[in-house]
Amino acid sequence: MMDNLRAAANNIVLKIILGLIILSFVLTGVGGYLTGGSGDYAAKVNGQVIERAQLEQAFQSERSRMQQQLGDQFSALAGNEGYMQQMRQQVLSQLIDNTLLDQYAKKLGLNASDEQVKDAIRKAPYFQTDGQFDNAKYLDLINRMGYSADNYAQSLRQQLINQQMLQGFGGSGFVLPSESQAMSALMLQERDVRLATIELKALQAKQTVTDEELKAYYEQNQNSFISPEKVKVSFIALDAAALQDKVTVNEAEIAAYYDQHQSSYGQPERRNYSVIQLKTEADAKAVLDELQKGADFATLAKEKSTDIISRRDGGDLGWLEPETTAEELKQANLTEKGQLSGVVKSSVGYLIVRLNDIKPAVVKPLSEVHDAITKQVKQEKAVDAYYALQQKVSEAATSDNESLASAEEAAGVKAAQTDWFTRDNVPAALNFKPVVQSIFDGSLIGENGAGSNSDVITVDGDRAFVIRVTAHQPEGIEPFDKVKDRVTEMVKRNKALQEAKLQGEKLLVELKQGKGEEAMKAAGLSFGSVQKMTRNSEERQLVETVFSLPHPQDGKPVYGMSQDRQDNVVLIALDTVRPGTLSADEMKDFVSKMQESTVNIALDSLLSNLRKEAKITMGAAEQQPQ
């Protein structure tokens, strides 16, 4: 696979195509993937140093990734020193594993070049829009995962190398037919069951409770009745988009902008090339001789070019702009239509290039782009006004910290007021992560609930808020009288569940003794119709019980008891067990999945062996039991 990628990366046409796709991507710096540093090292793996800087960068990336995934819940984990130390050790262990795999891959002669890493990123469907690489989407997604461009590329490089090793394992791994048949029969097994349900709600409605029972339950389970922290907030919202309606633009400003940005409203010079790619210089000279004698360029390209893409079009590469023109074409130094190059040496062999045509650079007249420039100037003036307003409101909110009155005057709007809300039901107008963090981090809350003004909090780049907590209720245990109805429901439910389980256990004993029919009838229960159950059915607890029952013998059902997702107690009659079956094509897919599992086990074993054989020395600050 890597050989194919390497060959593709050397194709002259792909170089041009990739140039078109990833101009902006190249500027993000997806190079220099390995981090260096000085000072005390984190670890040495067979003499190769993992710098402290590498560990700190990897740890911060993992921390950011966890914070993105868990949101506010991560704050509690981040405050746990033991947890963060464990996470740091896991990150270091992963760096050591990556180093071991990298060393082993080099020993095997495996590698993934920078170009292969870039190519893999460009081809990933989740980084594409309408089938084309989308640099903005790429950066947004990896940032949300807590990666920088360099860190993500480094991780992907290791994945590509691992894939090569996995292919090596996969080529030698195999699964015996008897193993695959037995495993598919077990995993795809079907069981016919009949169910009888003891409804929890019906029993719950019949329960009675005393105040003593309720108070005892409340005292024993006070952590179930925590009242979350609540606040009331006053806020001023600033919106750059809203300012556009107040901005005016005159013709002089439009003309000045056009003069300063003419390059943005034109088409650069474009050139149309054709190329014939050959393996050797001798082959290239022979073809050039034929062309100079009058042979048709397109015919020779189709017959002799080793570039399988361009030769289908007679060597035609289409129209190219300077930024997307491969260096080999520029080296030909062609300046006139129809001009033919000499033999051009390149990384993919030898080229003969013809310049078919030139389209000079053009600039659109102001009349054609007037509306677009008007909109752009208006947006820029609105942004300038927005930032000026931010500064003005920030100064007012800071200088008068007793209320939002001065900030209201500076903003030219009245502050909005909220009702009580918790962290879990923030009003939509304020439901932005930076705003919520500022409200609930405690810095704006005073001794009596009301606190101080916030500074300007920017969200989404074009909106901002100044907020003030006007009232505050800390987290606490709700009083018994307020939660009595909830406690009553919980106690009744618990008593109903105990009754249902006791009833189910008694009936199960009767069923196993062959006396269940009369007992079931007396309880007002009966088994329903036969239903097929597989291991992937949604009722997980019920499925686990059904598939743990022994096979029926002599046509007699096997009985069991479980619960469904509503906690109803369910009696089970297992009638039939059928082994799973697969078609020939399905069995091939199943065996392939089993082989993948075998390969992963092999990779884990490889890492274990590499660790045993390696000399790993921990840095002074990281010396903990491994």
Give which of 139, 111, 110, 115 is closest to 127, Cα–Cα.
139
Across the strands, what pairs with 569? 198, 563
> Tens digit of pLDDT for each residue in 165-217?
666 554 444 455 655 566 566 667 889 999 999 999 999 999 999 999 999 99
| Distance (Å, whole) CA 97 – CA 79 | 28
**Closest-CA residue to 595 (of 202, 197, 281, 177):** 177
Assess whether pLDDT exceeds 80 at residue 89: yes
Q: What is the 3-state secondary structure of 256-295? A: HHHHHCHHHHEECCEEEEEEEEECCHHHHHHHHHHHHCCC
What's residue 56's pLDDT? 80
- Rounded Cα distance between 525 and 518, Å, is 10
Q: How far apart are CA 157 and CA 162, in angstroms?
A: 9
The pLDDT tens digits for 242-263 are: 787 788 889 998 889 888 888 7
Structure confidence at residue 449 (pLDDT):
56
Greatest Cα pair distance in the chain: 110
Tell me the helix, strand and coil percentages in the chain, rounded to 5.
55, 20, 25
Q: What angle, 0 to 180 degrees and rounded to 10, lies between the N-to-C axes of helices 149-172 and 52-70?
A: 90
How much is the pLDDT for 300?
A: 93
Of the pLDDT bands very low, low, confident and very high (cuts 50, 70, 90), residue 79 is: low
Stretch among 15-24, 421-430, 450-459, 586-595 having the lowest mean pLDDT: 15-24
Looking at the predicted structure, is the pLDDT value of residue 20 above 50? no
Task: Name 465's bridge partners.
Answer: 237, 457
Three-state DSSP class for residue 183: helix
334, pLDDT greater than 80: yes
pLDDT score at 14: 45
At 428, list the tokens. 């939509």
Helical (H) or strand (E) element with 88: helix 81-108
At 227 the pLDDT is 87
Q: At what angle do helices 149-172 and 114-123 cross, to 10 degrees?
A: 90
Mean pLDDT of 95-121: 82
Report whether pLDDT(3) > 70: no
145, pLDDT greater than 70: no
Separation between Cα atoms, residue 459 and residue 239, nearest integer Å:
10
Q: What is the pLDDT of residues 481-511, one digit of tens each?
A: 999 999 999 999 999 999 999 999 999 999 9
Residue 302 has pLDDT above 50, yes or no: yes
Q: Is 573:191 a contact under the CB 8 Å cutoff? A: no
Q: 146 pLDDT exceeds 50?
A: yes
Question: How far apart are alpha carbons 103 and 45 in whole angstroms?
Answer: 9
Domains annotated for the chain, with CATH where assigned, are 2-173+605-622 (1.10.4030), 189-224+481-578 (no CATH), 229-240+373-474 (3.10.50), 269-360 (3.10.50.40)
Provide the b/e sequence for 2-36 (b: ≥16 CB within 10 Å): beebeebbebbbbbbebbebbeebeebebeebebe
How far is it, in rounded angstroms, from Cα 582 to Cα 572? 28
User: pLDDT (tens digit, 9 = 90+) per residue, 548-584?
Assistant: 999 999 889 999 999 998 899 999 999 999 887 767 7
Identify the pLDDT of residue 430.
Answer: 92
pLDDT at 100 over 80: yes
Closest residue by Cα to residue 31 from 139, 114, 120, 140: 114
Cα of 584 vs its chain's centroid, Å: 36
Instruction: Tell me the range of 23-32, 81-90, 207-216 where mean pLDDT is highest.
Output: 207-216
SS3 62: helix
Q: Is 514 exposed, middle or buried (0-12, 13-18, 19+ CB in 10 A)?
A: exposed
Is the confidence at residue 27, as pLDDT, over 70? Answer: no
Total number of residues shown for the chain: 626
Comparing CA positions, the residue from 58, 24, 57 lying closest to residue 137 is 24
